[in-house]
Copies of this chain bind each other. A is one copy, B any other.
Amino acid sequence: MDEQLEFLREIDKLKNVIRKTPLIDNYRKENSAEHSWHLAMYALILSDSSDQEIDINRVIRMLLIHDIVEIDAGDHPIHESTENENQEALEIEAANRIFGILPDSQGGDLIKLWREFEEGVSNDAAFAKSLDRMQPLIHNIETDGGTWAEANVTESQVNDRYGPTISSGSTGLWGKAKVMVKNHFA
């Protein structure tokens, strides 16, 4: 139990990883811990919107842990062109260090779950990634453009950067999102 409590103390640091996305009231930027809570709620509420058959409990777990590597590796917003080529290596190292605090089999299971999310291939991961792309889209629209306005992102760039990921998990969600995006840029 000591290792488990040490891990739970360590991940408190995720509350200080600041994302680019604003809160809906536009008063401050979102942190990755509260973002992870919000996404777990997206999964709980929207579970019926997945095109494929999913295990919603696994999707919720995936979303609870999906950003923990950012404690070491930082957040990497999709609209920044300065892509760090070592990012993948950094994140794997972070996963090994942080989940490695846990007892072996528990840590190993979470590393596997995180890798499944990153790969985005399984039904559960595709739906999780779809929600992870949907939520900031809604926040940007609610804040007069949010990170799109900051980075001069166009409607067609939004469609290119959000559409494939959202629709690969849920064509219904992307149908809604597409109309919202169109109205926003109109």
Asked if B61 and A9 make an inter-chain contact with CB atoms under 8 angstroms apart, the answer reads: no
Asked if B64 and A8 make an inter-chain contact with CB atoms under 8 angstroms apart, the answer reads: no
Main secondary structure of the interface of A (DSSP, over half): helix
Among A31-39, A83-91, A117-125, the one that faces the other chain is A31-39
**Distance in angstroms between the alpha carbons of A41 and B4 in the assembled complex:** 10
**Distance in angstroms between the alpha carbons of A25 and B31 in the assembled complex:** 15
Asked if A44 and B64 make an inter-chain contact with CB atoms under 8 angstroms apart, the answer reads: yes
Q: Name A64's contact: one of B33, B37, B46 (CB within 8 Å).
A: B37
**Total copies of the chain:** 2
**Distance in angstroms between the alpha carbons of A31 and B36 in the assembled complex:** 13
How many residues on A have C-beta within 8 angstroms of the other chain's C-beta atoms? 45
User: Does A157 count as interface, using CB distance less than 8 angstroms?
Assistant: no
A36 (CB) vs chain B CBs: closest residue = B37
User: Does A40 count as interface, using CB distance less than 8 angstroms?
Assistant: yes
